[in-house]
């Protein structure tokens, strides 16, 4: 194999694929990136056996062929080369050494055989549809903060993507819905159901896949093609294809957690509220991060106390006309949710100090958040 490629193009693609590669690997081949050259392009692939990213970039191919080279080392070398350099990759006789040349620099890297590189066999992915990059970004950004990191409840370690019906009065609209929860808070976001997504199975997309897709979506063109089956999902856009296994488990019936009888409504400026929570929470203990909300007609008092630091209070004007109520929340969770609210107003629908609260963006009905209170 012999190719010449511009540094910027190689660096961009290596950056995409190498982030899948784990820093510590017991299987040496999984530390490598698969390079294949032919037909005027270079294909790069990396996998951790659960997730695979393949990307193709234009290159001047002197001699077609393939190899696998250490992903992080290759990425670091290319990153440190001067801007605008042309990079030559060459595999000689027995194929065990990759020579990289750029300007006056030359590197020799040990390679492993292409045959050893695992392929993530995708089988048939019979459900195919496409979504706008901005819509996928919105689904991910507004739910991923609620993904559980508790490995014992592995079925909560991802975003649950499924087709559902959204009820608005007597109308039912088909939607594509993303849900994530860690037992303390829940995020549910929806968008109109794309053509072709009608019969999709409910799937749980793992956290690592969500993170990688989110990084790539920023650079994606307008639309992203999704294909999925019961156990795999594939995202394709521009010259990138990401294939991932899905979490094999049953996502809980999240509708049961969303309260229907909450009758006390408070509306507050989301930005002012988030800033005030952040200030008051400076005092709360690192472990509990508790902040108390004391509501009376037209006013909200935020307070926090800690045996070590002292106390803090801040008052805000709010729209609230119900009976007085005191309720405590984890300030970090409150901030995670209010940061997703893009409009000016946040609406809290409450019941009492021990029941879950619903939080919405006044200007956007597609997102709903549920937050469990805590004792303060």
In this structure, the answer to whether residues 263 and 170 fall within a common structural domain is no
For residue 280, tell me if it sits in a domain. yes
Beta pairing partners, 5: 87
How many degrees, rounded to 5, is the angle at CA 26 between CA 22 and CA 32?
55
In this structure, the answer to whether residues 321 and 364 fall within a common structural domain is yes
Q: Measuring CA to CA, which residue among 146, 134, 174 is closest to residue 368?
A: 146
Task: Specify the pLDDT at position 95.
Answer: 85
Percent of the chain with pLDDT over 70: 100
In this structure, the answer to whether residues 104 and 135 fall within a common structural domain is no
- Which domain CATH number covers 91? 3.10.150.10
d(CA 281, CA 333): 11
Q: Answer for the pair 4, 60: CB distance below 8 angstroms, yes or no.
A: yes
Last residue of a domain, one of 58, 92, 116: 116
d(CA 65, CA 36): 6
Last residue of a domain, one of 96, 116, 136: 116
For residue 196, tell me if it sits in a domain. yes
Task: Specify the pLDDT at position 277.
Answer: 97
**Alpha helices by DSSP H, 161-258:** 207-217
In this structure, the answer to whether residues 263 and 241 fall within a common structural domain is no
First to last CA, the chain: 66
Task: Specify the pLDDT at position 321.
Answer: 96
Task: Specify the pLDDT at position 25.
Answer: 87
What's the whole-number average pLDDT of the chain? 95
Task: Specify the pLDDT at position 309.
Answer: 86
Last residue of a domain, one of 226, 256, 286: 256
Task: Specify the pLDDT at position 120.
Answer: 83
For residue 121, tell me if it sits in a domain. no
C-alpha dist (Å) from residue 250 to 105, 145, 154, 185:
53, 20, 10, 18
Query: What does the pLDDT look like over 80-109, one tens digit per residue?
Result: 999 999 999 999 878 899 999 999 999 999
Query: What does the pLDDT look like over 102-131, one tens digit per residue?
Result: 999 999 999 999 999 998 876 789 999 999
Q: Which backbone phi and psi does 54 adopt, to 5 degrees?
A: -125, 130
For residue 10, tell me if it sits in a domain. yes
In this structure, the answer to whether residues 243 and 338 fall within a common structural domain is no
In this structure, the answer to whether residues 235 and 132 fall within a common structural domain is yes
> For the stretch 51-85, what's the b/e string if a residue is b when 16 or more beta carbons lie within 10 angstroms of its beta carbon?
bbbbbbbebebeeebbbbbbbbbbbebbeebeeeb
For residue 221, tell me if it sits in a domain. yes
Query: What does the pLDDT look like over 145-171, one tens digit per residue?
Result: 999 999 999 999 999 999 999 987 778
Task: Specify the pLDDT at position 104.
Answer: 95
Query: What does the pLDDT look like over 180-218, one tens digit per residue?
Result: 999 999 999 999 999 999 999 999 999 999 999 999 998
Task: Specify the pLDDT at position 286.
Answer: 78
> What pTM did the predictor assign?
0.94
In this structure, the answer to whether residues 43 and 67 fall within a common structural domain is yes
Task: Specify the pLDDT at position 369.
Answer: 98
In this structure, the answer to whether residues 210 and 266 fall within a common structural domain is no
341: number of CA atoms within 13 Å, CB side? Answer: 27
In this structure, the answer to whether residues 75 and 189 fall within a common structural domain is no
Q: For 23-27, 70-74, 185-189, 234-238, which range has the lowest pLDDT when averaged over its residues?
A: 23-27
For residue 325, tell me if it sits in a domain. yes
Mean local confidence (pLDDT), 53-67: 96
In this structure, the answer to whether residues 266 and 250 fall within a common structural domain is no
d(CA 216, CA 121): 22
For residue 376, tell me if it sits in a domain. no
C-alpha dist (Å) from residue 201 to 42, 204, 239:
35, 10, 27
Q: Number of structural domains, the chain?
A: 3
In this structure, the answer to whether residues 111 and 140 fall within a common structural domain is no
For residue 20, tell me if it sits in a domain. yes
285 by DSSP, 3-state: which?
Answer: coil
Task: Specify the pLDDT at position 169.
Answer: 74
Percent of the chain with pLDDT over 90: 89
Task: Specify the pLDDT at position 253.
Answer: 96
Domain span at 342: 258-371
Please name the helix (run of DSSP H) or strand (run of DSSP E) that holds residue 112, with its range, or none.
none
Query: What does the pLDDT look like over 220-232, one tens digit per residue?
Result: 778 999 999 999 9
In this structure, the answer to whether residues 249 and 265 fall within a common structural domain is no
């Amino acid at each position: 194999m012999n190719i010449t490629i511009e540094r910027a193009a190689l660096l961009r693609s290596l950056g995409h694929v190498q982030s899948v590669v784990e820093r510590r690997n017991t299987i040496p081949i999984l530390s490598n990136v698969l390079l294949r050259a032919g037909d005027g392009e270079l294909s790069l692939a990396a996998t951790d056996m659960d997730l695979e990213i393949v990307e193709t970039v234009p290159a001047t191919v002197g001699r077609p062929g393939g190899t696998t080279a250490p992903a992080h080392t290759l990425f670091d070398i290319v990153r440190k080369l001067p801007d605008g350099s042309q990079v030559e990759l060459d595999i000689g006789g027995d194929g065990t050494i990759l020579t990289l040349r750029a300007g006056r620099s030359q590197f020799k890297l040990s390679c492993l055989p292409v045959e050893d590189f695992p392929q993530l066999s995708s089988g048939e992915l019979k459900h195919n549809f496409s979504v706008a990059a901005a819509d996928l970004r919105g689904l991910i950004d507004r739910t991923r903060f609620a993904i559980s990191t508790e490995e014992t409840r592995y079925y909560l370690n991802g975003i649950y993507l499924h087709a559902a019906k959204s009820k608005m009065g007597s109308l039912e609209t088909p939607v594509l819905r993303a849900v994530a929860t860690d037992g303390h808070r829940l995020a549910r976001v929806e968008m109109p159901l794309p053509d072709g997504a009608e019969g999709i199975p409910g799937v749980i997309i793992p956290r690592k896949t969500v993170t990688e897709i989110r990084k790539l979506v920023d650079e994606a063109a307008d639309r992203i093609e999704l294909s999925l089956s019961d156990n795999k999902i594939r995202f394709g856009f521009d010259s990138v294809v990401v294939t991932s296994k899905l979490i094999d488990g049953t996502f809980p019936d999240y509708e049961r957690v969303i309260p229907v009888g909450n009758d006390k409504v408070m509306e507050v400026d989301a930005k002012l509220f988030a800033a005030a929570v952040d200030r008051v929470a400076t005092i709360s203990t690192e472990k509990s991060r508790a902040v108390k909300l004391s509501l009376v007609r037209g006013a909200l008092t935020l307070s926090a106390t800690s045996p070590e630091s002292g106390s803090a209070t801040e008052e805000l004007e709010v729209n609230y006309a119900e009976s007085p109520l005191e309720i405590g929340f984890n300030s970090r969770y409150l901030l995670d949710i209010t940061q997703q609210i893009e409009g000016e107003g946040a609406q809290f629908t409450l019941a009492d100090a021990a029941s879950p609260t619903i939080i919405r963006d006044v200007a956007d009905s597609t997102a709903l958040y549920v937050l469990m209170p805590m004792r303060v």
